[in-house]
A and B are shown apart, each in its own frame.
Chain A
């Protein structure tokens, strides 16, 4: 492009940030002006982040995110496939968290997992073991995995294997247990453990067999359909679950296992509106992992909560977590519960928002907005606001209500700091005591401190590189 071709002789189209008077004068002359509703940035650090290196890195990270082709290829025991897994490792949701700081539901899930793995026989024994220092607690995200709510994942649990056909990387997630009493909410009663054993012996192997036979399921196109059927694939997975079950059912029916088990598999899947949740999360994770590790990129690749802290990771900032206290969602509670019963926000499921689904796709799932007393117009508003902090728009996931515009995708730390707009997250609300389960659903935001810390870290890296190369001024 000839440099002056961009300005001289072109029709002037102006962005105005600041004094309205100047925009008025241009408007009066018929010049198209877009006015920024400007306010001071959250952090002055942001001035150091608007750089060509970051722009280029973000283009690459966004390209990888958009190019990812998640395919559900298998279900295998975690010990076989999850990198770094050991018989005494417990993966959990969110940023790193020692036993001593775990909230009620996460502790409950740890106890349940230890009983399930037969590492402990009783609750007391499990608690002793958990505090003994002999177990390894580690975030799912350190192992290319994601888990909803407590996110506890152990060696014998069957996990979904998601493959990115574009990048070759894989991600993992447990099978969804359904609503009510579930390990992910910290329940560890006998029925919960019994269901996990059935996952291990029947459901997991059966789904694995089906997926291997059919060569995998293209999850990207499945999500694309579901988004046009009213799902945002975080709090609403009805359409996606139905689509997945529809795809798998004939092959489950053809499995060489007792009819009673085939029936139980199909009944379980059909009875769980969140059957797809973990699948969608793994698909988001595999795409975001592909976008992670682009030097200088300010694209957010992880948003996750452990019930105590909220943490984010950023493509260009390696393995570091940037954390702040977990908030409490604002929403509606099931009969008999209130905000006092709520545990601070938890789960890796905000990976959906990180990938441009969940609250970011709320315009396609107006039913969800009722959780905060909103209207379908509010649902459009939530999605529209997220375009202000994202680098791009999804090619695959398109919203009918916004003229099939792609969902806002790829959170830019810079835009969060510049605008003060925090990512919106749809979430389930867990009871703060172990084992009671989901008590409501609503909306939550990450703490701004995560983004401020990430911004400072990236600015420091850039400044360090300037000093190293002597190119700073």
Chain B
């Protein structure tokens, strides 16, 4: 073990730089101890106590820099002294990257975006409640896409929001159109004077897209989450959105859409909707109560869209599109394979006892740990392909959902799956009919016409509304003639 030192006279280096250099020398291989200090009396005493003060450094003064090293050999010590000098001489970069790391919380993000008004929350369900509450604390309206939020949490969130004049859209809210901007999955539709409230994501997408295709437009489209009209939730967000639409000068007609509601809540919501003084069209499947006079109650999403447009004063709103004739009956029943829950429910009700099975690939069981089928429709595509080999299935009924956030080309992989299904059916000497409806508009990034054409080329019959598609599927099985 040897100790070596160098003294550099009148070499002032600030103490922190010296400590840093000491640290770098100390960790060099073979070095046992190292110190770079100014040669003050105190420092020389400390060096002596640490056995780091060889004779050559004993007479250093307060203005002298002492570099001392103890190492396993003289060569290592000398090399380390050279290294120490090099560390001190090296110019340190003063061009540290301007680190502006992204915000780590909704509160932090809101602080950085003045005027922020909506939080879009799509984190895993177990953490969604905390994020939504945090957003409310930050004074933000909440679009809560996440599913798996307990009902009690939903109620608490909505009550809290209501007391603060904030709106919770969700949980499990697929879409909203706020001030013409889509949140979540949303179709490009023109602005107009129909204001919608929907406790149903794909229901809202179907109605807004059809209204666009009928030539009218949307003022606001507020999703409230599929459970909003449940008894326990009591329509908290729907009632709030209705009162806003009632006062919104851009909104001339109000449309109300929901998954199957609680009868009591539906009655209350209709009453409030009627009291806005604006014409109201309501699609509340399974609700058979008597609506107020100003409310038109309809049985299908298509009728909701047509009704809203008619209430705006248009005479005969018409949808283009051929569905074809049903002709003679097919063997087997209708298999519904859907990516939209409300579309699935509506179609199932229309198909009735001609249904073999209806599957909603957007249900919790299919989305746990994987993206929503509107983003990634591969599970549904696989099911379509399989249906070709199932002799109990005569007709496959599908939906395709376009818009922002959706798969960039959902008809592409579906067309391939349809082709495969038909090949499989042919192998067992059967014909498989596929009926499809595409939810979307000509302005959607995927292009409605383009997507429809892909499905038609694959041999699917494409209908302009979910209602027409379901009826055609049913009639294909029953053999009733199409209209």
Contacts and interface: CB of A to CB of B under 8 A. Distances in A.
Contacts of A83: none
B22 A31 contact: no
Interface size class of B (residues with CB under 8 A): 35 or more
A11 B118 CA distance: 10
A47 B150 CA distance: 13
A336 to B, nearest CB: 3
A124 interface: no
A6, A8, A11, A381: residue with the most chain B Cβ atoms closer than 10 Å: A8
B117 interface: yes
B116 A41 contact: no
A25 B165 CA distance: 27
A21 interface: yes
A19 B145 contact: yes
B99 A332 contact: no
B327 interface: no
A4 B181 contact: no
B46 A334 contact: yes
Contacts of B112: 34
B220 interface: yes
B288 interface: no
A339 B145 CA distance: 49
Nearest to A35: B102
Contacts of B359: none
A376 B122 CA distance: 37
A463 B258 CA distance: 34
Contact of A34 (B101, B110, B163): B110
A122 B138 CA distance: 60
Given A52-B163, A336-B49, A15 B104 contact: no
Contact of B116 (A3, A15, A44): A15
B110 A1 contact: no
Interface string A412-441: 001100111100000000000000000010
Interface of chain A, helix or strand or loop or mixed?
mixed
Contact of B23 (A25, A332, A378, A414): A332
Contacts of B137: 50-52, 54-55
Given A8-B220, A22-B122, A13 B116 contact: yes
Interface in A171-211: 180
Contacts of A380: 99
Interface stretch (B128-136, B311-319, B380-388, B475-483): B128-136
Contacts of A247: none
A13 B105 CA distance: 16
Contact of B105 (A7, A12, A14, A388): A388
Contact of A15 (B109, B159, B244, B375): B109
A287 B348 CA distance: 66
A50, A376, A378, A421: residue with the most chain B Cβ atoms closer than 10 Å: A50
A172 B196 CA distance: 63
B121 interface: yes
A367 interface: yes
B99 to A, nearest CB: 5
A51 B160 contact: yes
A394 to B, nearest CB: 15
A187 B335 CA distance: 85
A418 B163 contact: no
Contacts of B153: 47
A99 interface: no
B20 A370 contact: yes
A84 to B, nearest CB: 38
B19 interface: yes
Interface string B20-60: 10110010000001011100001100110110100000000
Interface in B156-184: 156, 159-160, 163-167, 178-179, 181-184
Contacts of B33: 336
A376 B96 CA distance: 7
Given A7-B167, A34-B103, A26 B181 contact: yes
6 closest residue pairs by CB, A with B: A377-B96, A18-B122, A336-B50, A50-B133, A335-B35, A47-B130
Given A16-B122, A17-B131, A473-B152, 10 more contacts: A13-B114, A15-B106, A17-B109, A22-B120, A22-B404, A29-B404, A34-B112, A35-B109, A388-B105, A418-B105
18 contacts: A11-B115, A17-B119, A17-B135, A34-B116, A36-B109, A38-B104, A47-B127, A50-B137, A55-B137, A332-B23, A335-B36, A335-B47, A338-B26, A373-B23, A377-B99, A384-B99, A414-B134, A473-B156
